[in-house]
Amino acid sequence: MRKIVFDIETKNFFHDVGSSDPRDLDIALVAIHDSETDTYSSYLEDELNRLWPILERADMIIGFTSEHFDLPLLNKYYPGDLSKIKHLDILKEIKTSYGRRMKLDQLAEGTLGKNKSGHGSDATKWWHDGEIDRVREYCIDDVRLTKELYDYARANQKLIFKEGGQLKEIPLNTSEWETPTEHKLTFSLPF
């Protein structure tokens, strides 16, 4: 099963565009991990045409807060409909099991003993300051954490988060996460 873990950094904030709809934002870059090649890569907005064939061949895409943010924003740029690909939003799975949302950093610290390398607001500032490589590193770091959390959850049927100095477990039923589905895309590739 070819899995693509992804994350997006934007060029702007919701208050910049006067909207809370992710589709009104602009993509700075998208970072991915491709399970087929076991590599991390990133794509600036003008390089997204190189990302489409990878996503079109994926059996599954995985993100964190991706159902209501990353996927709708990415779909704005895609000539077809990426929601046709099997998609797993780790945060949605946590909310379903535990009843509330939490931050990627909480889960990374509790489960993996690691922290994020910055915040989304930092990435947008770096972008405006022309620090593209720093944005790229930050986004790839978030993809790496998301992938490691996914792998941990699949192996252990749980994730762990830190709250008030205590570690707490979130039980997760991952048995259906990698069940294959048929997806039909409007391919961006010429025929």
Q: CATH code at 143? A: 3.30.420.10
The span from the CA of 40 to the CA of 54, in Å, is: 12
The span from the CA of 90 to the CA of 75, in Å, is: 19
pLDDT in tens, 125-134: 999 999 999 9
Domain hosting 16: range is 3-171
> What pLDDT band is residue 120 in, cutting at 50, 70 and 90?
confident
Say whether 165 sits in a helix, a strand or coil.
coil
User: Residues 58-83: what's their mean pLDDT?
Assistant: 95
Check residue 154 and give its pLDDT: 97
Q: Is residue 101 situated within a structural domain? A: yes
Answer yes or no: is pLDDT of 191 > 50.
Answer: no
User: Residues 144-173: what's their mean pLDDT?
Assistant: 95
Q: Is residue 121 situated within a structural domain? A: yes
The number of distinct structural domains making up the chain is: 1
> What pLDDT band is residue 118 in, cutting at 50, 70 and 90?
confident
Distances (CA, A) of 22 to 86, 115, 173, 188: 20, 25, 29, 22
- With 0.95 as the threshold, say if the pTM is over it: no
